[in-house]
């Protein structure tokens, strides 16, 4: 039987979801987000019956934390496994996923789907862009006009040259697109 990535425990089990994110964000063990203490002997796992999954305590600054702090998962009441499902959907579909599509697949409400989609896309946005091109690099440029369909009625006073947005794109071979 083929082993589908969708059957991975991180998509179904909250402990496994935390273990997955912790391994990604803390490759060398937990780090306290409050005081940056990374000494594993000074960080304990809180394990009461009613304790939230993934809760730890830093004995250096005496504050509790989870791996969600400082990430897009912070301040979210949604289970981490649902976040991982949404991230997987958005990252594995070539053209992204609409709010409605997320809502249908995840079986959640529309507000939840909207929130997930926005936060995840926001996190994927590129940071400060670097300069394109340079010595020996090839950058291609092209431009196009975004037009309405010929079937769409044009508003009064519409002038193609003025109202059609022009899009200019720069593509570095093997590099970024701007």
State the residues that interact with Zn ion by CB under 5 A. 32, 34-35, 37, 58, 60-61
For Zn ion, the closer of residues 58 and 89 by Cβ is 58
Q: Which long-range contacts (CB under 8 A, 24 or more apart) does 69-72 make?
A: 69/33, 70/33, 71/21, 71/25, 72/119, 72/120, 72/122, 72/123
| Least CB distance to Zn ion at residue 29 (A) | 14
For Zn ion, the closer of residues 30 and 117 by Cβ is 30
Residue 55 in tokens:
């809760």
For Zn ion, the closer of residues 16 and 60 by Cβ is 60
| Least CB distance to Zn ion at residue 1 (A) | 45
| Least CB distance to Zn ion at residue 69 (A) | 11
For Zn ion, the closer of residues 43 and 113 by Cβ is 43
| Least CB distance to Zn ion at residue 36 (A) | 7
Terminal C-alpha separation, the chain: 43
Query: ∠ CA 141-142-147 to the nearest 5 degrees?
Result: 155
């Amino acid at each position: 039987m083929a082993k589908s990535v969708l059957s991975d425990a991180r998509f179904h089990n909250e402990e496994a979801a935390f273990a997955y994110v912790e391994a990604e964000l803390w490759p060398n063990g937990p780090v306290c987000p409050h005081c940056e203490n990374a000494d594993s002997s000074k960080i304990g796992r809180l394990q009461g019956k009613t304790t939230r999954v993934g809760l730890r305590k830093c004995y250096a600054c005496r504050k509790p934390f989870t791996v969600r702090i400082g990430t897009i998962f912070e301040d979210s009441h949604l289970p981490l496994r649902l976040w991982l499902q949404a991230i997987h959907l958005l990252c594995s579909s070539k053209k992204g996923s609409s709010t409605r599509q997320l809502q249908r697949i995840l079986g959640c409400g529309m507000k939840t789907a909207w929130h997930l989609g926005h936060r995840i896309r926001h996190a994927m946005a590129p940071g400060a862009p670097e300069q394109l091109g340079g010595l020996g690099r090839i950058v291609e440029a092209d431009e196009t006009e975004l037009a309405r369909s010929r079937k769409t009625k044009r508003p009064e006073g519409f002038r193609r040259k003025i109202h059609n947005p022009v899009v200019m794109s720069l593509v570095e071979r093997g590099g970024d697109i701007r």
